[in-house]
Amino acid sequence: MSEPQGNASDDSSSGSAIAPFLGALTIIVAVVIGIWLINVFSGEELTDAQQIARAASGQNDALQRGSYPDYQAFTCPAQHGDESKVLSEHQDSVAERGDRYVDRVEGVDIEGDRATADVTYYFDGDREAKQTVEMSFVREDGTWKVCSTGPS
């Protein structure tokens, strides 16, 4: 009895099925490297308004995480207060209204190393009840810091 002889290429992969995937992977890697290079060499730093928004969000985030050292990093020394008191007051606010979030930062007005901005907050307990508060900021050692308290 003779066995039917098939084509040898039918039994082994020639690699042609993987070629489209390798091509797509190459394109994706090239795009990622391109984005990375643009970010590295763009040289653009954050504007003062963006740094102020980052300070407001960073301070709020530090409170949410209960990280007093991070809270201090985003807050004027005059507003630091006692660690246990700051964190306790925040925990009381969370118990009453839920976590507090920064919705947006607008109306940034900068005069030298001082600034104000309208910061809109909302609480987990009522996401529709947004509160906009004029907050004060000061630039210390090149870093913007929050110098007023938001809603609690």
Q: Which residues of 116-132 are buried (b: 16+ CB within 10 A; e: fewer)?
A: bbebbbbbeeeeeeeee
Question: At 97, which helix (H) or strand (E)?
Answer: helix 83-97
Q: Which residue has the higher pLDDT, 84 or 151?
A: 84
* 101-130 confidence digits (pLDDT tens): 999 999 999 999 999 999 999 998 888 889
Nearest 5 degrees, angle CA 78-CA 81-CA 87? 140
| pTM recorded for the entire structure | 0.69
What are the structure tokens assigned to 144, written together?
Answer: 């913007």
Q: Which domains does the chain have, with CATH numbers?
A: 48-146 (3.10.450.50)
Instruction: Say if residues 118 and 131 touch (Cβ distance below 8 Å).
Output: no
Give whichever of 19-23, 48-52, 90-94, 96-100 has the largest mean pLDDT.
48-52
- 3-21 mean pLDDT: 63
- Tell me which amino acid residue 47 is: T
Range in 29-43, 50-64, 72-86 with the lowest mean pLDDT: 29-43
Look at residue 11 in the predicted model and tell me its pLDDT.
Answer: 46
- Tell me which amino acid residue 15 is: G
Look at residue 151 in the predicted model and tell me its pLDDT.
Answer: 82
